[in-house]
């Protein structure tokens, strides 16, 4: 595996890092405190060409690759985890699946504006009774002439109140279990589509997480993504890519935890010297740095496999599982290193700790990742 970056890749990542440090990071605490979706940041990402990094230029993207994209997600999440997940969901589980699996007409109609950042994407699979168990879907899609009529409620939908385009999973034949699930490209303006309640979350407070309500929602037949009954495959393929970018988000949170810990350890004095001189602090920082590098390596390998069209399910699950645990572990240690100050909002440690936890839950819990890894080894 050769991860030597090209000059173009390095320029994109450098631009993303500078943008994250100068424009995204300074707003992170305010976005969190006010539960504010950073619309102006999303608009700037579109201006900078960050909303369609791995999409070819002919479809409105930057023409780069998945590796560059996940490295950009890490840079954004390092500055603001909310911003990282907005891009992750927009690209990994909406724009990219349409690009990979959609018809030419679907690509022209949806991928072009999504990749250009003119529209924002989202993914609607989870329901109140169907989280890890996707086969328990209750949302239905019934063919009626030139439309499918969708009925049901989705929950925990990232970008929900601000997205323009959604990939929605629904049952076209309940008797077939997962083989009866189909996926549809749904626009927020379709009749019968509405946004329900917004969740008040523990972390990622600037990220819009809502219900999506489909009540006699009429979706044109040409908006079926893939074939009828292929929805579970479409969703799992989308999650393979989504898990890599969420793992990158987790690495960004972990790196921010390390950055904050190093800075504070050099600044804070006890017993007449900086706490950075104490071995207990040094050991925590050394472990954080090592775990982060290991997690980052898994993320980059998974992205490289995806770019080379090689099997990625096992590696993406490993990256998601390990990076999420590293994010939680590192953010916990960051609070500990900060001591009492880490338990206050005066420093970023407490926000990083809250933001890190969800990486162990969404895009498939840690337990689901272990099932995927074991299943790939034992089949």
Residues 191 and 298 placed together within one structural domain of the fold = no
What is the pLDDT at residue 4?
87
Residue 99 sits in a domain whose CATH number is 1.10.540.10
Q: What is the pLDDT of residues 209-267, one digit of tens each?
A: 999 999 999 999 999 999 999 999 999 999 999 999 999 999 999 999 999 999 999 99
Q: Say yes or no: 281 and 263 in one domain.
A: yes
Q: Considering 8, 216, 363, 367, which one is annotated as catalytic?
A: 363
Structural contact between residues 124 and 167, judged by C-beta atoms closer than 8 angstroms: yes
Q: How far apart are CA 216 and CA 377, in angstroms?
A: 43
Binned at pLDDT 50, 70 and 90, residue 134 comes out as confident
Q: What's the pLDDT tens digit per position in 315-329?
A: 999 999 999 999 999
- Nearest-angstrom CA–CA distance, 85 and 248: 10
Domain boundary among 95, 120, 145: 120
Q: What does the mean pLDDT of the chain come to? A: 97
Q: Please check whether residues 41 and 58 belong to one and the same domain.
A: yes
Q: How far apart are the first and last CA of the chain?
A: 26
> In whole angstroms, how large is the CA radius of gyration of the chain?
21
Q: How confident is the model at residue 133 (pLDDT cuts 50, 70, 90)?
A: confident
Span 33-73, pLDDT tens digits: 999 999 999 999 999 999 999 999 999 999 999 999 999 99
Rounded to an integer, what distance in angstroms lies between the CA atom of residue 59 and that of residue 46?
14
Which of residues 62, 88, 120 is at a domain's end? 120
Q: What is the β-pairing status of strands 193-198 and 140-144?
A: unpaired
Tell me the C-alpha distance between 187 and 62, whole Å. Answer: 24
Q: Is the pLDDT of residue 338 over 90?
A: yes
Domain check: are 360 and 299 in the same one? Answer: yes
**What pLDDT score does 135 carry?**
80
CA distance 344 to 6: 42
Q: Catalytic annotation on 363?
A: yes
Q: Does a structural domain hold residue 1?
A: no
Domain that holds residue 319: 233-378
């Amino acid at each position: 595996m050769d991860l030597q970056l090209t000059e173009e890749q390095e320029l994109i990542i450098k631009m993303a890092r500078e943008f994250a440090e100068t424009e995204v990071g300074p707003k992170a605490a305010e976005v969190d405190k006010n539960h504010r979706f950073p619309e102006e940041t999303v608009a700037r990402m579109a201006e900078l060409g960050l909303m369609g990094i791995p999409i070819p230029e002919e479809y409105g993207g930057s023409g780069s690759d998945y590796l560059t994209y996940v490295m950009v997600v890490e840079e954004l999440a390092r500055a603001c985890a909310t911003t990282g997940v907005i891009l992750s969901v927009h690209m990994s589980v909406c724009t990219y699946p349409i690009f990979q699996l959609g018809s030419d007409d679907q690509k022209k109609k949806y991928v072009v504006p999504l990749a250009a950042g003119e529209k924002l994407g989202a993914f609607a699979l989870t329901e109140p009774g169907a989280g890890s168990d996707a086969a328990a879907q209750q949302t239905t899609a019934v063919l009626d002439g030139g439309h499918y009529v969708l009925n049901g409620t989705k929950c925990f939908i990232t970008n929900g109140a601000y997205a323009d385009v959604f990939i929605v999973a629904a049952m076209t034949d309940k008797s077939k279990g997962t083989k009866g699930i189909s996926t549809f490209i749904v626009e927020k303006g379709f009749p019968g589509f509405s946004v329900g309640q917004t969740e008040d979350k523990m972390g990622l407070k600037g990220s819009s997480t809502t219900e999506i309500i489909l009540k006699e929602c009429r979706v044109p037949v040409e908006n079926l993504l893939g074939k009828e009954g292929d929805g579970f495959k479409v969703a799992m393929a989308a999650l393979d890519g989504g898990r890599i970018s969420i793992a990158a988000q987790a690495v960004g949170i972990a790196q921010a935890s390390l950055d904050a810990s190093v800075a504070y350890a050099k600044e804070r004095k006890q017993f007449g010297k900086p706490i950075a001189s104490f071995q207990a602090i040094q050991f925590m920082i050394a472990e954080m740095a090592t775990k982060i590098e290991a997690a980052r390596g898994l993320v980059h390998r998974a992205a490289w496999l995806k770019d080379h069209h090689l099997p990625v399910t096992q590696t993406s699950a490993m990256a998601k599982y390990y990076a999420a645990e590293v994010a939680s572990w590192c953010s916990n240690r960051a609070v500990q290193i900060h001591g009492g100050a880490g338990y206050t909002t005066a420093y970023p440690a407490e926000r990083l700790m809250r933001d890190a936890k969800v990486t162990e839950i969404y895009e498939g819990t840690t337990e689901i990742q272990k099932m995927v890894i074991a299943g790939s080894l034992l089949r």
